[in-house]
Structure 1
Amino acid sequence: MQSTIKKTIQKVSFYLLGFALSGCSSANNEMAGGNLQAINHTMHGINWMSVDGYRADGGGGSSCCIIMPVKWRPGLKAQIEWEVDPEPFGPTPPLGTDEFRAFMVKHKANYQRHNTTVDIPEWPGTERCGLKVHFLVCNQIKVTSSCWAFNSEHYPIKEPSQMKEPAVCPK
């Protein structure tokens, strides 16, 4: 119960921060809150991601919140950090057993952490719809604030889902 209350308070705090920032800033620097969404194009698991310090689930759903400018401006960037599980679908021992706990210690030792800085592409007017972070093979990242649904003909990122890692990644 306390965990649920704490999460609710955190979400409300983020919204209030966004409203406070937007109310106290000039028109060119107006900020607002938006959701973060991870879209995984790889065969690996994305355990979590962080965008400019705002941490979110890597599982594909939207998470609250990130504070972004209402209007796009040149040079807008996002610092992305994430954790990869290279073998998320392998067999595991029964939950709650000593064998499972020992397995997880070894399994977690294979997790990989990455970070990069990417440009945030321009969005028209004030049609910013949060930030969608696309995880591609070779630890590449693309982001968009498009309001179109993923796989829509108008969606700007066209890479397919379930991409397999190439034998050699480009440098």
Structure 2
Amino acid sequence: MKKTWGRWLFGLFGLALFGCSTAENEMAGGNLQAVNHTLHAINWFSVNGYRAHGGGGSSCCIILPTKWRPGLKANIEWEVDPDPFAESPPLGTNEFREFMEVHKANYRHYSAVVVIPEWVGTDSCGLSVHFLTCNKIKVTTSCWGYGSPNNPIKEPKQVKEPAVCPK
């Protein structure tokens, strides 16, 4: 009797899950890409808990709905090295380890929540996170790469931080 009851409950649970599997709730994996527009180094970043290395390029993966819906947001956290080209002692030495301990103390951590812009149908190509000056973030799901006239983000790269950031 216990086995029958357990199977019935398991079947009911499976039916409930199947009932929730609508086109509205379908998810798909995509690449997570960083585009650094600053002179600082982005050591790492995460989007909704999916962590990747920063700086540029893409890594796998982020899970997004197959269809865009209003209110879709990305919680982004990242670590910045404000002096990525600091002169350091030779690798593997005690001096280098001491240098890195002091250097890492200058790393800064930031977070932002941004709205993920609308895409049409299933034309999302993952998520590109653009790191701008003044710790601003823009994201896009565009299939067009940065630099393409069709990519919605036009800010230049290698931009120096302004003396004062706008509020």
Please classify the TM superposition score into its range, dividing by the shorter chain length: 0.7 to 0.9
Equivalent in 22, 29, 36 of residue 26 of structure 1 = 22
- After superposing on structure 2, the runs of 4+ consecutive aligned residues of structure 1 that deviate more than 6 Å are none
SS in 1 for 2:34: strand
Q: Which amino acid aligns with 1:133?
A: V
Q: Which amino acid aligns with 2:121?
A: G
- Matched residues in 2 for 1:149 and 1:131: separation? 11
Match of 1:43 in 2: 39
Shift of 1:59: 2.5
- Percentage of pairs with the same residue: 72
* Runs of 5+ consecutive residues of structure 1 not aligned to the other structure: 1-20
Shift of 1:105: 0.2
SS in 1 for 2:109: strand
Equivalent in 134, 154, 157 of residue 153 of structure 2 = 157
Q: CA-to-partner distance for each residue in 1:36-61, whole Å, 9 max, x for gaps?
A: 00100000000000000000010211
- Matched residues in 2 for 1:25 and 1:82: separation? 33
Paired residue total? 151
Matched, 1:121 2:117: yes
- Matched residues in 2 for 1:163 and 1:94: separation? 29
Shift of 1:25: 2.0
SS in 2 for 1:106: helix
Q: TM-score, normalised by structure 2?
A: 0.87
Computing the radius of gyration over CA atoms, which structure comes out larger, 1 or 2?
2
Match of 2:143 in 1: 147
Q: CA-to-partner distance for each residue in 1:2-32, whole Å, 9 max, x for gaps?
A: xxxxxxxxxxxxxxxxxxx9xx721111100
SS in 1 for 2:56: coil
Equivalent in 51, 59, 65 of residue 69 of structure 1 = 65
Q: Which amino acid aligns with 2:95?
A: E
Match of 1:6 in 2: none
* Runs of 5+ consecutive residues of structure 2 not aligned to the other structure: 1-16
Q: Which amino acid aligns with 2:106?
A: N
- Matched residues in 2 for 1:52 and 1:89: separation? 30
Matched, 1:82 2:78: yes
Q: Which amino acid aligns with 1:97?
A: T
Match of 1:10 in 2: none
- Matched residues in 2 for 1:25 and 1:36: separation? 25
Match of 1:133 in 2: 129
Q: CA-to-partner distance for each residue in 1:89-115, whole Å, 9 max, x for gaps?
A: 121110000110000000000000000
Report which stretch shifted further, 71-80 or 24-33: 24-33
Match of 1:109 in 2: 105
- Matched residues in 1 for 2:141 and 2:77: separation? 18
- Matched residues in 1 for 2:32 and 2:91: separation? 31
